[in-house]
Structure 1
Amino acid sequence: MNLLKRLLQTVFVFGLIGVLILIGLYFYVKSDIPSVKVLKDVQLQTPMQVFTRDGKLINQFGEKRRIPVQIADVPEPLLNAFLATEDNRFYDHFGIDPIGIVRSFIVLVSTGQKKQGASTITMQLARNFFLTREKAYIRKVKEIFIALHIERLLSKDEILELYLNKIELGHRSFGIGAAAQVYYGKELRQLTLPQMAMIAGLPKAPSALNPIRNPTRAKARRNVVLGRMLAEKYITQAEYNDAVNAPITAKRHGAEIELYAPYISEMVRAYMVEKYGTDTAYNSGFRVYTTVDSATQAAAQQALIDNLHAYDKRHGFRGPTATYWQEDELPWQKEQIVARLQKVKAIAPLQAAVVTAVEEQSASVLLRTGETINLDWSAMHWARAYINEKRQGRAPKTAAEIIKPGMQIWVRNVDEKWRLSQLPQPSSALVSLDPQSGQIKALVGGYSFQQSQYNRAVQAKRQVGSNIKPFIYSAALESNYTLATIINDAPINHWDKSLGIAWRPKNSPDVYSGPIRIRRALAQSKNVVSVRLMRGVGLEKTADHILKFGFKDEDVVRSESLALGSAALTPLEMARGMSAFANGGHLIEPYFIERMTDSFGNELGTASPLRVCDEIELETDPYICAPRIISEKNAFLVADALKSAIWGGGSWRHKTGWTGTGWRAQALKRKDLAGKTGTTNNAVDTWFTGFNRNVLTTIWVGFDDASKPLGRATYNSNLGKQQIVGGEAGATAAQPAWVQYMRQALKEEPLAPIDPPPGLVSVRIDLKTGLLSEKNDFTSRFEYFERGTVPTKYVLDSGGSTPFEDSLPETEELF
């Protein structure tokens, strides 16, 4: 009894000393212990992800790769792997594990080294959030006290969830969600048992033990984890045997980009950084859903790329990008070629390749993968020599006239067939939006973001050419002109006293029709008619009217060249302005972010765009309604005239038929489309804008060097009848991309014509004079007029009326 009494006294004394030491240590480090209350509202550093409207990932921004997961979504075998390896008594202890501490102490006493830690998952969480990984006694003391605080604040599941999302697991992956993606390109639920064990083994040394850097050590660590799971009866012996024999399957995976759309995602990044600051934008786990649909955006990117390649092909082949050996030198070995090619980055769809053999009308080329492919004659027969933008060499007859062994070239896979290609020299941009709301449906700022991050869709102000004419004609319609008004399409000679020269604006082509109705003049893009209309309305009045469409005053040149398109606008500005003709006269505000959520999908905000409202709504709800800038009647008349730019008019059977400049859009076989070409002097800038009520798309094509013309292409006898020849213009350089894109964008869309609004009347007019007609044949058509502007006289069979009578305001500038 005395011995037991002494033993109890000794235990009590040592226990009391221990408690006093702990109290002393607590007060010693108390000032250095941070508050753990922040863990209640912790914001893990999670990268910003940008998605299409339908949920496809298009980009990711942020240094740390993290995909937050909730504990309920973690597969049970993965939880068991971590618990078995890191802290099997996690759900039983109170933040520290006395058994683990004793075990660690015994190892320290017996070896004199800190070989084995006693950290619980809670203690590791404390270290990861508040401390360093330094192996120091005082750090361990702080770790213990912080862990005790954490256990009082959070539930076990909350602690484990934070730990699994916070922990570093190598290759810039933080948390198990990111590790699954980085190492295996999978979601957690798709991982196999050996893959889960591999991830669970990483916390010990994420840099040294990861399977990409050191697969041998990683496999050994994985098998240790599997052994712990077997010992704790989380897996069976058979599962263990299969798992330890499984091969290492890890390799580095990038973010799961489902549709690479860099120009629109860069717009999102810039907006978010401006709004929230770099650190918050990059690390707060924002999930930003853009307005673009994945299929539509992909179609826009493909149309732009295909169109630039089509331009480049008709202007000739510029030769190899490099030559590895000459004809009189020994060819390189395959390994040497592949090693060099692997240093050449792919650009958009282009892959570098080296010609290894040339036959009569075919060639063998080697890719960077080591694969040899064959280019047949149809893959290269386009490649006559490029001389300059306006001249091409003769059509080749043999492959040797085009390429030779040793040449490094570009190839492109089109419809599962490799073709000789080259990096296009011109640039392009595409903007497609909903004219009723401003929602951007697709946006492409150039051929390759890798090649140039300059977003031409929103940054490049280029002269718009004839794309300005709908605005000029809109001003004329507000000044008592009608679509039936006759204007003289004849050359202008205007003497400029200040310069001592004559200004002679010309049509393109330089052909004149004489007296012509305004509808047809717009559809056929008559330059001199545009000048005469602006003179009739007045330069200042016309310019002021054009500014209503959202353009900046400094971009609208107040000279007569304005009528020919000297204004400089971005494609997005042009699309916004043209939308007024599609939506009944309202100025919408384009937007590209639909909604935002946090990393767990909780809604943070949705777009509240301006929308087109009727007159009653506009009076009662002015804060969401797009402002009216022109009358609905004016908007319809311009839009209807632009339909003639596609479908033309007259009677081909009676030899009075004519085409508009946008006739290529007839290929879509939709009567609800309207559009306008645009070409500047020397075809430096080319445009096409076309629309129906629900979709409007603007395309621009030109060189980044604004002094360089797009030139012309001559006939290539190797290519057949469908090729484009002659001078480049909006109809040839830009519109083909519009047609290709709109074919996809409108594929499932019903017809959406722009209906005539109240206040218009439709009467039959004579096509030659614009006067009323009683005939019902090819000499007449129905035309729309605002009430009060209908012609008052009928055309006379024997010339009783002049073509201009009662149809035109008096002006000295008529001819």
Structure 2
Amino acid sequence: MMKWLKRLFWLMLLMFALGVAAVAAFYFHLEKDLPDVSSLKDASLETPMRVYSRDGKLIAEFGEIRRIPLQYDEIPEQLRHAFLAIEDSRFYEHPGIDLIGITRAFVVWMTTGQMRQGASTITQQVARNFFLSREKTLLRKVKEVFLAWRIEQELSKNEILALYLNKIPLGYRSYGIGAAAQVYYGKEVKDLTLGQMAVLAGLPKAPSMLNPIRSPQRALARRNLVLQRMLQLGMIDQAQHDAAAAEPIKTRYHGAEVQLDAPYLAEMVRSQMVEQYGDQAYIQGLNIYTTVTATRQQAANDALFKGLLDYDQRHGYRGPAKSLWAKGATPWSNEQIFAHLDEVGSIDPFEPGVVVKVGERYVDVLLKGGLEARIEWEGLSWARPFISDSRQGAAPRKAADILRTGDQIWVWPETESKLCLVQIPDANAALIALDPIDGAVEAISGGFSFQVSKFNRALQARRQVGSNIKPFLYSTALDHGFTLASIINDAPINQWDAGSGKAWQPKNSPPIYDGPISLREALAKSKNVVSVRLLRSIGIDTFHERLQALGFPASSLQRNESISLGSVEFTPMELVSGYAILANGGFKVAPYFIDRIEDAQGQRLFEATPQSACRGCGQLAQRSLNSAQAYLDEPANWQASCPIDPTLTPAPQIISEANSALITEAMHSAIYGGSDRGLGGWLGTGWRAAKALQRPDLAGKTGTTNESKDAWFSGFAPEVVATAWIGFDDHRRKLGRTAQGGEFGASAAQPIWIEFMKQALQGVPVQLPPKPEEVITVRIDKATGYLSQREDASSRNEFFQKGTEPKQLAPQEGVLFGHGENTDAPADDNSAEDIF
């Protein structure tokens, strides 16, 4: 017996040795094909791209995979224990391989021929998730074992567990516990209850079958199994177990926790990142910080929404989106209505609803989500019938004049206690604001709803600009012999055009003509015929050169006199960029919207270094247009340094600071009129801004195109320049009119600008624009623009660039016109008679 026992012992020892040798040989055979597990020390987890405001508010998240990487110490102990209890309770004891589990899986495979049992440790799952496929083959399992052993040699247990908890797929595109906590509960992991932790721990086995959204009963059973295992292993006590087991399975899908609504900006960023990084942009964990701030972006959102809604409601109610049952037919049941509403998409902040009762001055509605509500008369009374863009029906007197039962409508909770009938506006709008010093985009909204239309009107809509072109024309005129005091004849023009066989008769809007008028007042009142006369004096070529130097594309510039009235088409971005030059002292700054880019580890990959306006640098101050044109011809050769701040890169100066200051003065009068600066009692076209904002440091210009197809307001205040546009995407439609009058830049676009500035300027102190040393003040005669020694109402103070002030005293009586040292046009201008 002893002899046989010895033989059996040596046989077993030999077989063990042969087995070890076989395993070693197999290992060395596979070694060259095994990946380097040391790469896990610097493992790069696929993480979505996130877009933030400058002040750190999440705007958007892009990528198929949702992941929020966490350090080991950021993961609550109970959450770690929950996963260990159900997935690998001996994790801290074994060397990465569970021999009992492997033997069990091997036996099942030998007896059934199928790999039904996994028995993988957490380390093996890390090996599979990072390096291998999920196919159930013996070779893959062997590689998994070898890799797990290697991983245990390279990493600590805590490092392995952290990798596992950050990598594991947990359903609904969430990878890792950080993302899963957000997706299922809208929480950070530190805020999860024990019951919620147990639900997440139960997901790895079958995320699609066990998730609490799709299968709450299965999730409940799996959660209770996790809690039972934790109790058995002493990870929790009975009281904790019972309390967690009593928690209801209550969850819903949570998207990325967007903190700031800026979808048009987010799409701008996404497009640029994909262009720069390709599809890798979606998985590299890039964090892009934009230039917008939450306060001003929200101000833009609110202003555009209010301006469009107000315009839309002024023009009447176009009727319900749909009628669910005919008049006199059997009404739908509540269940049918709610089922229908579940299929109708919401358009934030509007929700679909169905009218189920029409009272005398109220309607009851059923809303998506199984809610019941009432719209009182205050939320209905605006809805006079829409007949056309220029005609509305009579004001309603009762709810039945507006709606009937079965109407599917849109509702908006204006306040917690006020529900309003609304409709998706047919018109659209754009608002964009820049920091005029360096061109940083402060806020941008490209339309009423990104859900309805992804067309970004702030960047892509090329529309006629109307009178918004005039400040650039007047700026050019100031460099060619005119001053703010120049007198131009505001009288009708009737010029025969032999080419068309018609007379061209540009008209003022409204058709009021003041006769001789100063250049300042003409811009403030937006006199069309004065603009035509100015263009004739300086020449179309000269104006084209200035517009191109300011950054407007040559392809958009026409060679006819209608350009003086804004028949050219620019985008709101192009227009606001031009106004930034007027606002910052004449410097051409380039708009940009990405401040910096960081990788998933917080390392900075990019930081914007924009060129900035540098008052005092004097790079082009006092120079002629030829210098600006030289920059335009060879912009790549622009080299400059700031003598005041060596860290700042000055932008090229296109117009002088004196020119900028004088045009700002004229645009100031467009808002404050003649009551300011002792100019008399007239109003500028932008007077509503002075009344609404109640501050003295604004400058702006209205703009309305022919037939009111486009309405604009552009202007600036301390630290911000903004352009608002409103119109129809269908270029054939006019903004129309209401009982209160026509829709113009002042009445349709300026309210959007004003509403934005109300919020954007909160806390910003009054800052009157600086007056350059080259600008002086001279007392002039109002009627002639000549020097005056009077101090009465016939005279006023006016600003001039040194050397352009009048030299001749005003005559005691009458008005003298003609060439002289104070003439309105250059002495060599043969068309001077056309000006008067």
In structure 2, the residue matched to 1:639 is: 664
Say yes or no: does 1:739 pair with 2:763. Answer: no
Task: Decide whether the 8 Å contact of 1:768 with 1:803 is kept in 2.
Answer: no
What percent identity do the matched residue pairs reach? Answer: 52
Distance 1:530 1:229, change over 3 A: same
Alpha-carbon distance between aligned partners in 2 of 1:170 and 1:647, rounded to the nearest angstrom: 60
In structure 2, the residue matched to 1:176 is: 177
In structure 2, the residue matched to 1:665 is: 689
Task: Decide whether the 8 Å contact of 1:291 with 1:594 is kept in 2.
Answer: yes
Alpha-carbon distance between aligned partners in 1 of 2:247 and 2:726, rounded to the nearest angstrom: 54
Distance 1:675 1:509, change over 3 A: same
In structure 1, the residue matched to 2:343 is: 343
Stretch moving more, 472-481 or 769-778: 769-778
Task: Identify which of 804, 807, 811 aligns with 2:823.
Answer: 807
In structure 2, the residue matched to 1:795 is: 810
Alpha-carbon distance between aligned partners in 2 of 1:803 and 1:729, rounded to the nearest angstrom: 37
In structure 2, the residue matched to 1:132 is: 133
In structure 2, the residue matched to 1:276 is: 277
In structure 2, the residue matched to 1:759 is: 774
In structure 2, the residue matched to 1:721 is: none
How big is the shift at 1:612? Answer: 1.3
Task: Decide whether the 8 Å contact of 1:486 with 1:804 is kept in 2.
Answer: no
Task: Decide whether the 8 Å contact of 2:411 with 2:419 is kept in 1.
Answer: yes
In structure 2, the residue matched to 1:697 is: 722
Task: Decide whether the 8 Å contact of 1:647 with 1:659 is kept in 2.
Answer: yes
- The residue type paired with residue 689 of structure 2 is A
Distance 1:582 1:653, change over 3 A: closer
In structure 1, the residue matched to 2:159 is: 158
Task: Identify which of 728, 743, 752 aligns with 1:728.
Answer: 743
Alpha-carbon distance between aligned partners in 2 of 1:396 and 1:354, rounded to the nearest angstrom: 20
What are the Cα deviations for residues 168-197 of structure 1, in whole angstroms up to 9, with x where unaligned? 111211111111111111101011111112
Distance 1:182 1:653, change over 3 A: closer
Say yes or no: does 1:540 pair with 2:555. Answer: no
How big is the shift at 1:3? Answer: 7.4
Task: Decide whether the 8 Å contact of 2:612 with 2:649 is kept in 1.
Answer: yes
Alpha-carbon distance between aligned partners in 2 of 1:529 and 1:311, rounded to the nearest angstrom: 31
- The residue type paired with residue 668 of structure 1 is L
3-state SS of paired residue (1:415): coil
How big is the shift at 1:78? Answer: 1.1
Alpha-carbon distance between aligned partners in 1 of 2:676 and 2:88, rounded to the nearest angstrom: 87
Task: Decide whether the 8 Å contact of 2:85 with 2:230 is kept in 1.
Answer: yes
Say yes or no: does 1:688 pair with 2:713. Answer: yes
What are the Cα deviations for residues 385-435 of structure 1, in whole angstroms up to 9, with x where unaligned? 111111111222222222222222222221331112111111100001110
What are the Cα deviations for residues 497-521 of structure 1, in whole angstroms up to 9, with x where unaligned? 2222211111111110000000000
Stretch moving more, 596-605 or 570-579: 596-605
In structure 2, the residue matched to 1:192 is: 193
In structure 2, the residue matched to 1:392 is: 392
- The residue type paired with residue 783 of structure 2 is K
3-state SS of paired residue (1:297): helix
Distance 1:407 1:112, change over 3 A: closer
Alpha-carbon distance between aligned partners in 1 of 2:246 and 2:355, rounded to the nearest angstrom: 44
How big is the shift at 1:807? Answer: 3.3
Distance 1:345 1:800, change over 3 A: closer
How big is the shift at 1:616? Answer: 4.1
3-state SS of paired residue (2:208): coil
In structure 2, the residue matched to 1:717 is: none
What are the Cα deviations for residues 681-733 of structure 1, in whole angstroms up to 9, with x where unaligned? 0011110001023111100001001121111111xxxxxxxxxx211110011
What are the Cα deviations for residues 440-477 of structure 1, in whole angstroms up to 9, with x where unaligned? 11100000111100000001111100000000000000
Task: Decide whether the 8 Å contact of 2:718 with 2:764 is kept in 1.
Answer: no
Task: Decide whether the 8 Å contact of 2:784 with 2:815 is kept in 1.
Answer: no
In structure 2, the residue matched to 1:620 is: 641
Map 1:340-489 → 2, pairs under 5 A: 340-416=340-416, 417-489=418-490
3-state SS of paired residue (2:835): coil
What are the Cα deviations for residues 327-384 of structure 1, in whole angstroms up to 9, with x where unaligned? 3222222221222122221223222222222222222222223333222222222221
In structure 2, the residue matched to 1:293 is: 293
Map 1:232-243 → 2, pairs under 5 A: 232-243=233-244
Stretch moving more, 302-311 or 206-215: 206-215
Task: Decide whether the 8 Å contact of 1:384 with 1:396 is kept in 2.
Answer: yes
Map 1:566-577 → 2, pairs under 5 A: 566-577=567-578
Distance 1:556 1:529, change over 3 A: same
Alpha-carbon distance between aligned partners in 2 of 1:140 and 1:628, rounded to the nearest angstrom: 69
In structure 2, the residue matched to 1:722 is: none
Say yes or no: does 1:15 pair with 2:16. Answer: yes
Alpha-carbon distance between aligned partners in 1 of 2:249 and 2:351, rounded to the nearest angstrom: 30
3-state SS of paired residue (2:210): coil
Distance 1:90 1:617, change over 3 A: farther
How big is the shift at 1:92? Answer: 3.4
Say yes or no: does 1:149 pair with 2:150. Answer: yes
Say yes or no: does 1:333 pair with 2:358. Answer: no
Distance 1:800 1:301, change over 3 A: closer
3-state SS of paired residue (2:374): strand
Alpha-carbon distance between aligned partners in 1 of 2:57 and 2:677, rounded to the nearest angstrom: 49
3-state SS of paired residue (1:395): coil
Alpha-carbon distance between aligned partners in 2 of 1:651 and 1:205, rounded to the nearest angstrom: 74
3-state SS of paired residue (1:203): coil
How big is the shift at 1:624? Answer: 2.5
Task: Decide whether the 8 Å contact of 1:433 with 1:439 is kept in 2.
Answer: yes
Task: Decide whether the 8 Å contact of 2:661 with 2:772 is kept in 1.
Answer: yes
- The residue type paired with residue 643 of structure 1 is H
Distance 1:478 1:310, change over 3 A: same
Alpha-carbon distance between aligned partners in 2 of 1:509 and 1:348, rounded to the nearest angstrom: 39
Task: Decide whether the 8 Å contact of 1:362 with 1:377 is kept in 2.
Answer: yes
- The residue type paired with residue 694 of structure 2 is K
- The residue type paired with residue 362 of structure 2 is S
Alpha-carbon distance between aligned partners in 1 of 2:77 and 2:713, rounded to the nearest angstrom: 57
TM-score (norm 2): 0.92
Task: Decide whether the 8 Å contact of 2:641 with 2:649 is kept in 1.
Answer: no
Alpha-carbon distance between aligned partners in 2 of 1:105 and 1:275, rounded to the nearest angstrom: 49
Alpha-carbon distance between aligned partners in 2 of 1:503 and 1:688, rounded to the nearest angstrom: 27
- The residue type paired with residue 813 of structure 1 is D
Task: Identify which of 763, 766, 780 aligns with 1:748.
Answer: 763
How big is the shift at 1:620? Answer: 2.7
Task: Decide whether the 8 Å contact of 1:437 with 1:611 is kept in 2.
Answer: yes
3-state SS of paired residue (1:234): coil
In structure 2, the residue matched to 1:720 is: none
Distance 1:469 1:67, change over 3 A: same
In structure 1, the residue matched to 2:636 is: none
How big is the shift at 1:245? Answer: 2.5
In structure 1, the residue matched to 2:64 is: 63
What are the Cα deviations for residues 110-146 of structure 1, in whole angstroms up to 9, with x where unaligned? 9987554332211111111222223322221111112
Alpha-carbon distance between aligned partners in 2 of 1:285 and 1:178, rounded to the nearest angstrom: 13
How big is the shift at 1:490? Answer: 0.5
How big is the shift at 1:803? Answer: 9.5
Alpha-carbon distance between aligned partners in 1 of 2:357 and 2:818, rounded to the nearest angstrom: 69
3-state SS of paired residue (1:635): helix
Alpha-carbon distance between aligned partners in 2 of 1:478 and 1:755, rounded to the nearest angstrom: 20
In structure 1, the residue matched to 2:495 is: 494
3-state SS of paired residue (2:823): coil
Distance 1:581 1:449, change over 3 A: same
3-state SS of paired residue (1:648): helix
- The residue type paired with residue 762 of structure 1 is T
Alignment gaps of 5+ in structure 2: 620-639
What are the Cα deviations for residues 51-72 of structure 1, in whole angstroms up to 9, with x where unaligned? 1222221111111111111112
- The residue type paired with residue 766 of structure 2 is L
Alpha-carbon distance between aligned partners in 1 of 2:576 and 2:113, rounded to the nearest angstrom: 75
Distance 1:353 1:117, change over 3 A: closer
> Paired residues, what number?
803
- Quote the RMSD (CA, aligned, Å): 2.3
Task: Decide whether the 8 Å contact of 1:431 with 1:698 is kept in 2.
Answer: yes
